Amino acid sequence: MSNFHNFETKEPLKVLYIGSSGNGNVVLRHAMGLSSFRAPRVIVANGAGTVKPVAMAGKDESRWSFSGLRPGSSIVAIDGNDKVLVQIPVKMFTEALSWKPVNERLNGRGMRIALDDHIDYVCYASDIAGEGIFFRPKSSGEFTAAITDTRMFHHDDRGDPFGRMAASATIGEGYREVSTPSLHVAIHETIASVHIDSFAFMLQSPEGEYVIGPDVGQHIFDELLFRMPMAWLRRKNLPFIASVLQVIHPVLPNSTNRYNSIIGARVALGGTPRRDLKAGMPRLNFESTYDWGPSSTAKRWNHEMTLNIYGGGNTDRGPDWVVGIKGQVLCGDVKCNDREESVGLFLKVGQ
């Protein structure tokens, strides 16, 4: 079986995303058959673009670079008998679903960063905001200057235990927007990336100093450690398991639950917290948690399901208010023999 993947990220490619530069880069993985003595080759079909081989990337792998690509073209691998082995479309990286929230952060709060100006070629673009966009920068120094000149980012301190753990999956130098949600930028001379962290943990004190906030645990476990296997699963051709893992979130004390003494898991279906029935894809949450702190109630187990019906207000940080339906079961034991049940409408104001 033949397939395309990216050299830098090792991500399987179903789409070759490009910037306005029109450049691209892929690795073709193939098994040499006996039907032809010629190795497979890669061509550009249905549009503009030129291709040239770069080097062998490994056993049964070849690397190819492109220039002059335009959306609507296709990248096609053919064998020695001109049989199509694999074909993927060419699209602008702005069509990836992660682009819109990333672009809102890059051009919000007074920032004006045109990401396309810094992209040599796109390595991988995800539909998941928490994964974002990976690319080869035209100049890592100029991109770093564009980020730091905004004065809205904090440089990851690898000398701090929490900072070192949070930066453990960062290639190069990491910069975190001081906001929630937070734009996380990683910059290296060969690869850079931008994505959205839902739980930011860098706070600025009234004196102007940056301090680590209490959401650091939720960020590290939910958005870092728990997400790391997903790319590996895709590389192992197990995208279904990766998509299942994507909807599961560990729950720790954090700002969204007022730092209550709970631990558990949440399953989130139907898109982002902004989505409701008017958007056609409402957010459905199922959360099961255990209250481990001192409490006057014997009902320590909480199973809760919520469905967002309608939301409004400024959606830059999520809806200002949401009306929905909530079903809740409070239990005194694991088997939930001693329980209290309730179902009704809810109104949530703020985060």
Predicted confidence (pLDDT) per residue in 216-254, tens digit: 788 888 887 888 888 888 888 888 888 888 889 999 998
Q: Write down which residue in 33, 60, 93 finishes a domain.
A: 93
Q: What is the pLDDT of residue 278?
A: 63
SS3 6: coil
Tell me: do 106 and 216 sit in the same domain: yes
Torsion of CA 217, 219, 225, 226, to 10 degrees: 110
Helix and strand element counts for the chain (H, E) = 6, 22
- Between strands 182-187 and 321-331, the pairing is unpaired
Q: What is the CATH number of the domain that holds 23?
A: 2.60.40
Q: Are 144 and 133 in contact (CB under 8 A)?
A: no
Counted domains in the chain: 3
Tell me: do 265 and 220 sit in the same domain: no
Domain containing 46 equals 3-93
Cα–Cα distance between 231 and 224 in angstroms, integer?
12
- Mean pLDDT score across all residues of the chain: 85
| pLDDT tens sequence across 36-52 | 456 788 999 988 899 99
Tell me: do 257 and 334 sit in the same domain: yes
Cα–Cα distance between 84 and 77 in angstroms, integer?
6
SS3 307: strand
Kindly state whether residue 72 falls inside one of the protein's structural domains.
yes
- For 146, the enclosing helix (H) or strand (E) is helix 140-148
Which of the residue ranges 55-64, 82-91, 320-329 would you say has the lowest mean pLDDT? 55-64
Q: Is the pLDDT at 213 greater than 70, yes or no?
A: yes
The residue among 312, 318, 311 whose CA lies nearest residue 351 is: 318
Tell me: do 103 and 82 sit in the same domain: no
Kindly state whether residue 280 falls inside one of the protein's structural domains.
yes
| pLDDT tens sequence across 149-171 | 998 888 877 676 666 666 666 67
Kindly state whether residue 241 falls inside one of the protein's structural domains.
no
The residue among 201, 204, 102, 101 whose CA lies nearest residue 152 is: 204
Tell me: do 119 and 65 sit in the same domain: no
Top mean-pLDDT range of 68-72, 170-174, 204-208, 333-337: 68-72
pTM: 0.81
Higher pLDDT, 223 or 31: 223
Q: What is the pLDDT of residue 350?
A: 64
